[in-house]
Each structure stands twice: as C-alpha cells, then as structure tokens.
Structure 1
C-alpha cells in the first residue's frame, strides 16, 4: 500500500540537492541508464559491479566503482561505509541470465544486506526496484493500494515472497521509495532486437492472449529513480499509460522486431491485470514513451 503523504503538487516541484549516492546494480539494464542521469544531476555516485570489467566501465563514466558480491555481508557493510552515501539506490536483479529463484534471493538476502549496511552508518534514504505484476488477481489495472498476491501458488509464490521481503526490508528505513516497475523494454532488455522475445516469437512461444501487461521503457524507468530521490516515502507504480492485453501488444512487438505475429488467442491468469500510473504522474514523472505502441519502435 502506498504511504505517500506529501501533497503531490508540492513534491512534483521538489528537486533533490546534490547527494552522495550508492548505486547497487550500476551495470545492470536500469543502472546503465541511471548512472549518467545521476552524474548529470550533480550527484556523486559510487556504483557496484560484480566484475572488474564492469567496475572499469563505471570509472570511465565518472563514478567511483566497487566490485561487490551483494551476498557477502561484510563486504556490503564495508562498501556502504566507505562510500558514506546520503542515499542508496537498489537496482540489483538477476535478469541477465538468472532464474526467478535467483531474483528472489537478491530481493531477500541482498536487500537485507543493503538495508542493514545503510542503517549501520546512518543512511536514512533508500530507493529500491520492485515489480508492478505482483498484485493479487482482479479485473482492472492495480494501483498502489492493491494487495500483493500473497495467495499465489508456485512458481509465482517464489517471486511474490521475494518482492514482499524486499519491500518490507526497505520500509524499515525512515525515507524509502519502492518503484514497482512495469515490464521493461528498450536497449539491453528481453524486448530489444535479437533478444529473448524475438527468439520466442520465432519459436512460436509467445502467446497473443488476454493477459494484460504494463510496460515501461528502460530510460523512463531510470528517470523515475532519479526523481525518487526527492519523493516522499511510499510505493509507486512506474508504468506507461496503456495497460494492454497480449493480443494487442504482441503483434506490435512482432512488427517492431521484424518477426511474424502469432494468431490471437484468449484467456489470462487473474493476476495478469496491469497497473495504473496516476501516482507517478502526480509526483512529476513524465515518461518520454507514454505507450508501448510507439516505444517498441525506438530501439
């Protein structure tokens, strides 16, 4: 449930002062877009990578870099302590090749380490990546007051448990914003040319049915994280303006990727309902890609 309390009109015009930011997941699909935005805004950024090569790329962009295993608790405490941040931004996932169980572990154990490390050095503010398709079943797109799908069966239950653990841990810090991102598309995502979705289309593995999704372009997702440094505590759906069934968006994606679209079908799971973005818009987020209809064609 959203806990935003400041008047939206006031928050929309707030600007975060220059901060020292600890960016966990700086070389990930959102982190790569987010880091330049943070630097351009005047923030001093310490970014994490799991590899030395990734750390070098962060340094080349103008950040301080640390090679970090998020599951190594003493190393996380040391990295956060050494960077002395004003805020932590958590953009860690296992999307590069991991499983739902890997993602859940990051959300559960990695988030716990980050929150505890932040608390240990007196960091009050954290921004964290969550997802906008974890809501309970319903007919209409969900808003932030909709409950999470705690009754889900496996394998979805693993994802919901990870999301719940992440959001609960983050809420322990006095200033916390949970960004419930829609399905990411754009460069570096599964929806990019040559990516997973193109392969699934070619293999006939992508259904064009009634399952509703909400999307967000990766660049708009990154922009939301920058803005969230000045937002009040709470959860915010970061999705575009048009939740849509797969029978609408799959043919458009196929056209954008130059693949054949599957025949339309029907049926959906109750949780495949999409999400609303009114809260984010009220807070001053203005996505460049307002709908996947045009966004899919900007690679």
Structure 2
C-alpha cells in the first residue's frame, strides 16, 4: 500500500517507517524541517516537509502522495520541541501536542476526504489515564479520565477530540501506553538515576507500558487490516508504581527510588504526578491481541526495561 506517515521522524515514526518498508509498503513520511529528509531516506521513505498545523501544507502533501492510508503520529513532546518533561505544568509541556491532536488531526482528515483516502490511523494514549474508579485495569469500553481541574485536562480534552473525530471518520485509534525504547527510554531513566523520580504515597497507581517496536508492529497490523475503532496498544502487565519504578532503577544501576508522601509530593511534583502514582489506571490489550493478531516482542516491561538498559 501507499502509506502516508505524518510524523515520520518522531521516536515512534522512526521505528514504524522501517517496519512498513520491510513489509513492502511504499511510504511517504513527513518531517517539520528539511534537515531530517536524509534520515527519512535512510529509513526507506520518501520524505516531505509538512507543517501539520498549516491546512494548506497538509493538503498539498497528502494530495501529492495519494496514499491508501494516513497514519497520524505527530506529537511535540521531545526536549527539542517542548523542553524537559514537566508533569507539574503539563498544560504548557503538551501545548503544541494538544494542537497537533486537534487542529492537525482535523487538517489531516480534511485532506483525506478531499483526496479520497479510504483509511486513517491515529495515535492516542493509554498509559495511566483510565477512569479513576473501579478496578485498576481498563478496556476500550471504559472511558478515559479527563483529569478535570488539573494541568492534564487540556491534553485529555485533545485526546477526546482526536478519538471522536477519527471514530466518526471510521478510522482506527491506537491508544499507546507509556512508550519506551530507543530515543524514549532516556527521558524515563535520567530522573530515576538522579533519584528525582520517587514512589509517591503507596505507589498503587497503575501504568501500562509498551516498547516502541511493539507499538510500531501493532500499527502495521492496523494499517494492513484496515482496522476500525479503538485499540489499547499496551503490554501484558499493567503495574503499580511500587513495582515498576524500583525495577527500572535496578535495571538502570541506580539506587532504589525514594518514597515521598502524597502531601509532600503535591506542591513539588504537582497534582497530576500524584494522581498517576496513587490512582492511575492501566489498560488491557486483549482486544488488540484478539482482533489484530498482535504478538509482542516484549510482553512485559520487565523484559523490555532489562533489554534496553543491558
């Protein structure tokens, strides 16, 4: 197929493009600047410079590529685009990503309609943001938590917009868990090594992880099978912070994380970080495995963390 990957030079795009190429697809992938066109060529794609927030730029790029499917992987949460990770001010940290999940999604869908692209696949998120009631593990039938009144709320609203409009277009929404792997693990490990990533409260809040290569392989399946609807793309083991965080520190050769009461962490790290650590809900991947036939290289973060940090 002719596959148009919007955001081909992101950490996930760089793992996705080669998998698509290896399976015989013709890939056009976008970047925001000409400096990375060489990278896309090395990955096997035809590179194009595109501004996802500029409707004319998106329209021209999609019309020229004439794809069979558009894969929306545009975010702006890297240090280059958004500065250091900052959950305390998540509204500022995710400001551009929120626009990419709203305005850029609308631009891509409009271009798809104008060009007659029959299928659309978009990136969403399912790490710790399941509804904070009931059990610790959520399915696609459970709503996401909007985290109203917190700096996470604008991001959750943007995710809801993306999922709504892609759903109405009969596309596939892939809710990736907390991504780790080449280009993504360092952001997770650096504060752990500096003992700046404590277990808050009892650390009972759950998180779902997924390795970049596993997220990419699920995306390839969604493309090839013209999947529709919501899919949680996470590993087999949603886990509480009091399990995964000490294990990550051990794999990284770091001292065990400190433990901080929630009342002390709230003014220091912010209410979102406290909610993730104490109330976060993970996700089930049963639907993706059943309907897409997805198998994981790293069924658990235990294997993946160890492999990445060996």
TM-score bracket for this pair, using the shorter chain length: 0.7 to 0.9
How far is the alpha carbon of 1:140 from its aligned partner? Answer: 2.1
The correspondence for 2:57, drawn from 69, 75, 91, is 75
Aligned to 1:47: 29
Q: In the aligned structure 2, how far is the partner of 1:151 from the partner of 1:249?
A: 23
How far is the alpha carbon of 1:170 from its aligned partner? Answer: 1.3
Moved over 6 A (4+): none
8 Å Cα contact 1:131/1:179 also seen in 2 = yes
Q: In the aligned structure 1, how far is the partner of 2:50 from the partner of 2:10?
A: 13
Aligned to 1:6: none
How far is the alpha carbon of 1:179 from its aligned partner? Answer: 0.4
How far is the alpha carbon of 1:23 from its aligned partner? Answer: 0.4
How far is the alpha carbon of 1:202 from its aligned partner? Answer: 3.5
The correspondence for 1:117, drawn from 85, 97, 111, is 111
Deviates more, 1:136-145 or 1:81-90: 136-145
Aligned to 2:77: 95
The correspondence for 1:159, drawn from 151, 155, 170, is 155
How far is the alpha carbon of 1:154 from its aligned partner? Answer: 2.2
How far is the alpha carbon of 1:26 from its aligned partner? Answer: 0.6
Q: In the aligned structure 2, how far is the partner of 1:213 from the partner of 1:265?
A: 18
Over aligned residues, Cα RMSD in angstroms? Answer: 1.6
The correspondence for 1:298, drawn from 299, 304, 307, is 307
Q: In the aligned structure 2, how far is the partner of 1:130 from the partner of 1:37?
A: 20
Aligned to 2:140: 144
Q: C-alpha deviations, 1:90-137, integer Å up to 9, x for none?
A: 111112122222211110111111111111111120111100133221
The correspondence for 2:238, drawn from 215, 240, 243, is 243
TM (norm. structure 1) is 0.88
Aligned to 1:285: 294
Larger RCO, structure (CA 8 Å, separation 6 or more): 1
Q: In the aligned structure 1, how far is the partner of 2:146 from the partner of 2:306?
A: 36
- SS of aligned partner of 1:298: helix
Deviates more, 1:95-104 or 1:45-54: 95-104
Q: C-alpha deviations, 1:34-73, integer Å up to 9, x for none?
A: 0011011111110001121211211233211101111111
CA 1:147 to 1:271, structure 2 compared with 1: closer, same or farther past 3 Å? farther
What count of residue pairs does the alignment treat as equivalent?
A: 276
Q: In the aligned structure 2, how far is the partner of 1:52 from the partner of 1:231?
A: 31
Aligned to 2:42: 60
How far is the alpha carbon of 1:198 from its aligned partner? Answer: 2.7
Aligned to 1:196: 187
Q: In the aligned structure 2, how far is the partner of 1:135 from the partner of 1:281?
A: 19
